[in-house]
Amino acid sequence: MPKFSVIIPCFNAADTLSETLESIRLQTVSDWEVICVDDGSTDDTRLRILDAAKNDDRIKLVENPGKGPSAARNFGAELVAQGSIISFCDADDLWSTTKLAEVDAFFQTTHCDGTFGQIAFFDNNPSDARVFSTVPDKALSINDLLGENPVCTMSNLSIRRSSLQRYGSFDEAVVHNEDLEWLIRIVGQGGVILGRKSQQVWYRASPTGLSANLKAMEAGRRLAIATAKRFGAKPTRQANAIHQRYLARRALRMGHGKFLTLKFALAGLAQSPRGFMTPPRRGALTVLGAFANTLMPRRVARALFS
């Protein structure tokens, strides 16, 4: 049996999936399987998977018996996967060639349930990435997750199969921020998730993807906060400020109107000026970008923000 099972939910991902699969095929470790869980695609997604499987029998196509990415991940991880380590990947993201090797080494030397690395955000080409995620020095806390989730995307997380079985699966009723709600449940039950300061994932910042839907993000956050309350936790003013900063940066990157970014930035500063401005460079650039966005052409404001 393979050590790693890589779960990829797929829905109309024909334009990006081949590149994603190639980044996995280029891993420096070979002890893996890829489970592509198709969610009823109407484009050439299935053909892309089948073509890849012809050249590499470690790649498998299965049908999602449910609906949505949470159901796809649950089905792939719980009923199909054979590996002792479950790594998730989205169908439009890319991995560094050493990602799985680094995860393997980390699990062998560190007592934890899950691990993640640093992410580079890009629009068209990975080499153009100028924005990178921050990896904390300690295990994730619920308060970390309610601020600016350091994991950022499921493409960045690997978890021991035994831990997944212990802490439970994704809530299939959550449409967005399902990963945040799930991580809060793991941490709330005592799970240990540690980051590693190594760039492992390139995240494709699609302006039309679900992650660009700010209303859906807020609805998902409300559910995540409700889950946190079950463990006696609620977001601090600092966490709320950091979340508003994240929304401001997201709105600016995706071009969501001239004043929405400023609205988020001002709301964050009202919650906790110190929280919003820490670290200073990130906070200052967000405020500068928010004001510049109301005065300058979008491309100029985005260049300034990046």
Q: Output the DSSP codes for 11-69.
A: SS-TTTHHHHHHHHHT-S---EEEEEEE----SSHHHHHHHHHHH-TTEEEEE-SSSSH
pTM higher than the cut 0.85: yes
Lowest mean pLDDT among 26-40, 127-141, 212-226, 227-241: 212-226
Structure tokens at 182: 């799930």
Distances (CA, A) of 243 to 62, 83, 218: 36, 35, 10
Q: What is the residue extent of each domain of the chain?
A: 4-217, 236-305
Q: Are residues 289 and 252 in contact, defined by beta-carbon separation less than 8 angstroms?
A: yes
Nearest-angstrom CA–CA distance, 207 and 211 = 8
Average pLDDT value for the chain: 89
pLDDT for residue 213: 67
- In this predicted model, which residue has the larger pLDDT, 76 or 289? 76
Q: Which fold has domain 4-217?
A: Spore Coat Polysaccharide Biosynthesis Protein SpsA; Chain A (3.90.550)
Choice among 98-102, 211-215, 227-231 with the minimum mean pLDDT:
211-215
Name the range with the highest mean pLDDT among 91-100, 172-181, 275-284: 91-100
In a 13 Å sphere around the CA of 256, the CA atoms on its Cβ side amount to: 21
Q: Does residue 62 carry a pLDDT above 90?
A: yes
Give the mean pLDDT of 228-251: 88
